Amino acid sequence: MNRLLLLNKPFQVLSQFTDRDRPGNPRATLADYLTAPEFRAAGRLDYDSEGLLILTDDGVLQDQLANPKHKQWKTYWVQVEGTATTKVCRALEQGVLLKDGPTLPARCRLLQIPTIWDRNPPIRHRASVPDSWIELSICEGRNRQVRRMTAAVGFPTLRLIRKSIGPYSVDGLEPGQHTYVEPITTQSGNNTGKRQPSSFSRRVRTRSARHSERRQNTHDD
């Protein structure tokens, strides 16, 4: 049966099961949190980003979720340097010019500080520089697009969390935890799903603690 796996990918974990670039000193990968060799990620999430990563054992579903032509909306919670305003959101919504061309129209709103998990290691705060949060939704999939968009309007990204992809959300999952859903195709072509408890969930916290120590000795190239 075709299934989707929703994972809350922790900070500094690769969105793949092996680190081909550093076999002698590998970084944390999905294999540190999952035993699901038949699943493949439907799209990537940067090494230094957190939040929802969807994996599937079905190639058609993988394409529907990852291929930009299907225009699945991806929503991010973004902590930025500086005090974001509605003017900043309007600029992001209208699209910004990047080196690889203008972005498509987006959705943006200001956020109060969200109630979320702590990051390990935490963000470095500077007393003289304020920070703020926005919620940004895009339907493209360019490399490090959200970070480049906020930088283009003068607000560098400090922390990036993917909240949802289409109808699928990271809600209820702690870093390193995952759950399975059954995909349902509606008349509009959107996928929906009902969560099912993961057989790994009780083991994730122990494994997360063990690998957080390991990640402290690794860094992104």
Distances from the Cα of 32 to the Cαs of 17, 75, 109, 171, in angstroms? Answer: 8, 26, 35, 21
Please say if 58 is a catalytic residue: no
What residue has token string 């500080």?
A: 113
Which entry of 19, 21, 32, 46 is annotated as an active-site residue?
A: 46
CB atoms within 10 A of CB 117: 14
Query: Rounded distance, CA 104 to CA 64, Å?
Result: 19
Distances from the Cα of 120 to the Cαs of 10, 48, 70, 200, 214, in angstroms? Answer: 9, 11, 34, 22, 12
Task: Tokens for 31, please give them.
Answer: 């294999």
For the chain, the distance separating the N- and C-terminal CA atoms, rounded to the nearest angstrom, is: 39
Residue 81, classed as helix, strand or coil, is strand
Cβ proximity of 134 and 140 under 8 Å: no
Query: Rounded distance, CA 162 to CA 75, Å?
Result: 6
Query: Rounded distance, CA 128 to CA 99, Å?
Result: 31
Enumerate the active-site residues.
Answer: 46
